[in-house]
Structure 1
Amino acid sequence: MSAPRDEIEIDDVEEWFDQEDDVPIEAAVALMDPAEKYAKSQLRVVRETKDYQLDYLQHALQPGRELIDISPAYQRRLRWANRKKSLLIESLLLNIPVPPIFLFERDYNEYEIIDGRQRLDAISSFLSNDYPLTGLEYWPELNRNRFLDLPAILQKGLLRRSLPAVVLLAESQSPESDGLDVRRVLFDRLNTGGIRLNPQELRNALYPGDFNAMLIRLARSRPFTEIWGIPPYVAGEEREPSDALLRNAIFASLADAELVLRFFALRDAVENTKSGSLRTILDRFMKSQSSVRESSVGDMEAQFTQVITRLQSVFGDVTFRLKDGGRLSRPLYDALMIALSQDPTIDIESNAVSVRGALERALANEADYEVLVGRANTIAAVYERVALARTILTAEAR
């Protein structure tokens, strides 16, 4: 059972993230004297520059030897297709300067990538013979060649090229000294590649762990990808994602992982009457779960899978879609998922025809439609949506 072809574009996803700040944080903000704040808030960050020759990177990034951590904590998904990777290699062959990568020294001689993962991966994977060059503009003769296919003189020349790096070392005693998360500021503000980290990429960078891994795993599960129009999981895609996957706006931006996070975070907010902006609620919940171990996330994973599978069995190809199989709706997803998880005893399967009819009537009713999908993306609106969704699942919608 597969959903209609996904029509969500990158502009839609960017709007999703922008809407997270619709509601201001409700706690009062204590204003400081500007001079005092300036004196107290300077980031104690040491900066040094390095040039890494590609022959060093070839060895430093080999599995089991990673002197530079290019993926675990950062978790921005690889977005570059082979042609873009190839153009970077061509630039290096032509000795064209490339922008520096930014590294964070988390411990003595231990680095993690802040900005430039796509470039580092493109270089590392080409030197590992993982992909052929394609779409070259000045070296078309080298198209379809992998690294080991290149003439020896070009291999040697490429290995002598250098990749500039800026290494940042925070002198603060902890990542959150003086109430300021140094890593968050660095991740959020550095923008050398032209694409700022979106909120979910930041969460994945700052709060790695078993809960984060579960979000990504659930986002690649079959019912989720079928419903949201994402290409299905294929073994090995973490290293070499398909072009179709790279073109999918929801996957490429980690919006899929945020959708899974929304289920857990908003349900917690509804059940515990939490307030604040949507972004604050998602951030705080992600942080609160960052130390949860794998043994503790099993029940959460099973519950999410059960709820989304049950809803798909009832709504099929139009799960979380607006009337007449229209666009996918995050508010509708939030409401139905949370409502069913709060009362899993509702027998939606035996009453599937009535449940589908109840949703159709709700979407056709102006007042109910406004509650389900038309209001601002606020926590107060989520409360109302979940309440209405419960009446829909019990086939009581007017």
Structure 2
Amino acid sequence: VNQINRKDIVIPFYQRRYVWKIEQASRLIESFLMGLPVPQIFLYINDDDQMEVIDGQQRVLSVKYFMEGYFGDADDKGRRQVFKLKGLSERSAYNGKSFDDLPLKEQRKLRNSTLRAINIKQLKPSNRNDSVFHIFERLNTGGTQLKPQEIRNAVYRGEIVNKLQELNNADGWMNILGLKKKDKNQKDVELVLRLLSLYKRHAEYEKPMLKFLNCSMKDESSFNSERAIEFSVRFPLVVARISRLIQRPFRPKGVLNSASLEAVMLALMESELDISDAELTERYHRVMNNEEFQRLISGSTTDALVLKGRIDVAKRIMDGGVL
């Protein structure tokens, strides 16, 4: 608990909120007091040598709350529930007791209890956090698992996390995606990352897409490269124009097709087309109705040849070529 208060152990922003009921937390505290084994937690040692809780947040916070005397965080009016152990066996000597109600011997026993932890830090290669990413994936044992983009936000830190969120707020982007609000699993943010990763780099793409996006998060962590800055200017401009001109874009079969979105948007961002709204709209429909393009946005859409092929088709048609 002292390490949490000193910020040596931290609950990172990407973790879910505290969701345990007081009965669950009470059984954990009773296990410590009875000397019963408690599952280990996993900590990730970040670049500041802080220990981030990867797996075990509910256990860590339950102990902290009990020793503080209050269950959970304060409500909107600043009130907190007094933490008295609840839901234990009627024969339990600890039922209904707070930390301060415990005899000093029991308080000392809880303070000196050991919660086993495995510390994780990637040493080699020092410039990649791929191993940590996969550990996050495997340790997602809670009821609501973190999704790939949420894990990237944890592992690959830097200005890119904030910039992707900013770009996800671009006017018209939610309209293009057909969303009324941001995706809770950050799939919308992941799509922005995918466009950034492929922008002027699709010739370098190799499967799998997950690894390609991970590398991009690392390489562009500071978001100060000429390519990233250029993307941050062009992305909202293209989004606004497509949203204004095309009704329900990138839906060849009624639902959003990310592969077609990716190809057409990259074609527009990379080509710097100086054409009228009417011409852009006409070329957009030519792309979407092209038989070769339709084939390349179906099936194995992350295959390298397929991905590069559909972007090439989109660029040639959007540039005014005839296929």
User: Deviation at 1:328?
Assistant: 0.5
> 1:358-386 CA deviation, whole Å, 9 max, x = no partner?
25533xx4x44112334542121122211
Indicate whether 1:369 and 2:294 are aligned: yes
**2:315 equivalent in structure 1:** 390
Indicate whether 1:322 and 2:252 are aligned: yes
Q: What does 1:132-143 align with in structure 2 at a 5 Å threshold?
A: none
> 1:161-200 CA deviation, whole Å, 9 max, x = no partner?
999854333587x353699965345324324326665443
User: Deviation at 1:213?
Assistant: 2.0
CA contact (8 A) 2:42 2:56 kept: yes
Indicate whether 1:114 and 2:66 are aligned: no
The verdict on how the C-alpha distance between 1:112 and 1:217 changes in structure 2, with shifts beyond 3 A counting, is same
**1:347 equivalent in structure 2:** 275
User: Deviation at 1:262?
Assistant: 0.9
**1:69 equivalent in structure 2:** 10
Of the three residues 171, 174, 182, the one matched with 1:225 is 174
Cα distance in structure 1, aligned partners of 2:255 and 2:48: 50
Q: Larger radius of gyration, structure 1 or 2?
A: 2
Q: What does 1:83-162 align with in structure 2 at a 5 Å threshold?
A: 85=19, 87-93=20-26, 101-106=41-46, 110-117=50-57, 127-130=72-75, 148=79, 150=81, 157=98
Q: Flag structure 2 segments of 5+ consecutive residues without an equivalent.
A: 32-37, 86-95, 101-106
User: Deviation at 1:338?
Assistant: 0.7
User: Deviation at 1:329?
Assistant: 0.7
User: Deviation at 1:104?
Assistant: 2.6
User: Deviation at 1:327?
Assistant: 0.4
Q: What does 1:1-398 align with in structure 2 at a 5 Å threshold?
A: 52=1, 60=5, 66-71=7-12, 75=14, 78=16, 85=19, 87-93=20-26, 101-106=41-46, 110-117=50-57, 127-130=72-75, 148=79, 150=81, 157=98, 165-169=115-119, 174=123, 176=125, 183-184=132-133, 186-193=135-142, 198-232=147-181, 251-270=183-202, 272-293=203-224, 297-316=228-247, 318-323=248-253, 326-347=254-275, 349-355=277-283, 357-359=285-287, 361-362=289-290, 365=291, 367-393=292-318
CA contact (8 A) 2:42 2:118 kept: yes
For CA contacts below 8 A with separation 6 or more, give which structure has more relative contact order.
1
Number of equivalent positions: 292
CA contact (8 A) 1:222 1:232 kept: no
**1:247 equivalent in structure 2:** none
CA contact (8 A) 2:171 2:240 kept: no
Supply the AA of the counterpart residue of 1:88: K
Cα distance in structure 2, aligned partners of 1:288 and 1:100: 33
User: Deviation at 1:257?
Assistant: 2.0
